[in-house]
Amino acid sequence: MVYPVIRCVQEIPCDPCVGSCPKNLITMKDSILSLPEYTEGCLGCSSCVMLCPGLAITLVFNNYDPNKEKALVMMPFEFVNETVPLGCEVTTTDLEGNVVGKGKVVAVKTKESVDKRRLLLVEVPEKDKLLVAGFHIRDIYHGEPLTEDMQDEEDPIICRCERVRKSEIVREIRMGVRDMNQLKAVARPSMGGCGGKTCTDIILKIFKEEGVPMEEITLPTNRPLVAEIHLGDFVKKK
């Protein structure tokens, strides 16, 4: 037995699911703004999973495991093909993104008329089949805890991109640095992606605190704001 789990909570004018079902099993009571409802008799054709713009429908295959220990859940997937975790064990999540358990991606389904969406068949424990609404394409990495105090009031961070502290800038000013381009070279403030959009003014204040007259300071090269893009984006795609 197969059936869709429809997690639609959007009372908006949207009804592709209604038209997608060849047996007209998905209906809306009052208007196009209503939430869809399902009546028994699903063929398991997966059209609704393929079409729902909100990726709100999964399909549960109950007859997957004769021992009834496992079930198969079909989920839509809209990342690039290279990231399809076929054969991998993935962490499954519920509608809110909370971790449910583990699943194994056993098959991928595509449809010629559909451009990017893939349907992934994920084997999950029987008890999880109604909860599972998604999965992590890779395990969440929380990073290493910082070893130093980032909120040090005594010695605050001036350049956040490169994590340069005030003391490092003061040290260079006291060494005689007056050209802010050289300050960038030696202590790295403004060397990050933003190009000194915030720290330049703060550094000028530090020069002032150190008693350096403005006319002794050479301002840094002023560059427009840029967004970093991938090297691959410069190459013509085949």
Query: If binding is defined by CB under 8 A, does position 19 make contact with another protein?
Result: no
Nearer to another protein, 29 or 230 (CB): 230
Which residues on neighbouring strands pair with residue 28, listed in sequence order? 36
Where would I find the beta strands (DSSP E) of 39-155? 57-61, 70-77, 89-93, 99-109, 118-125, 134-135
Query: Whats the size of the chain, residue-wise?
Result: 238
Q: For residue 77, count other CB atoms closer than 10 A to its CB.
A: 23
The residues in 201-220 that bind another protein, with binding defined as CB under 8 A, are: 218
Closer residue to another protein in complex, CB, 9/185: 185
Place of tokens 């068949």: 121
Three-state DSSP at 49 gives helix
Window contacting another protein (CB under 8 A); options: 21-29, 135-143, 175-183, 196-204: 175-183
> Of 1, 175, 214, 225, which lies in the binding site for another protein, with binding defined by CB under 8 A?
175
Q: Does 104 bind another protein (CB under 8 A)?
A: no
What single letter denotes the amino acid at residue 135? F
Let me know the angle formed at the C-alpha of 183 by 181 and 187, rounded to the nearest 5 degrees: 130
The yes or no reply on residue 81 touching another protein (CB under 8 A) is no
Instruction: Please name the amino acid found at residue 98.
Output: N
The reply on whether position 193 binds another protein by CB under 8 A is yes
Work out which of 11, 179, 209, 210 binds another protein, going by CB under 8 A.
179
Binding-site size for another protein (CB under 8 A) equals 21
- Phi and psi, residue 202, nearest 5°: -65, -40
Per CB under 8 A, the list member of 102, 104, 163, 178 interacting with another protein is 178
Residues that bind another protein in the complex, under the rule CB under 8 A: 175, 177-179, 181-182, 184-186, 193, 195, 218, 226, 228-232, 234-236
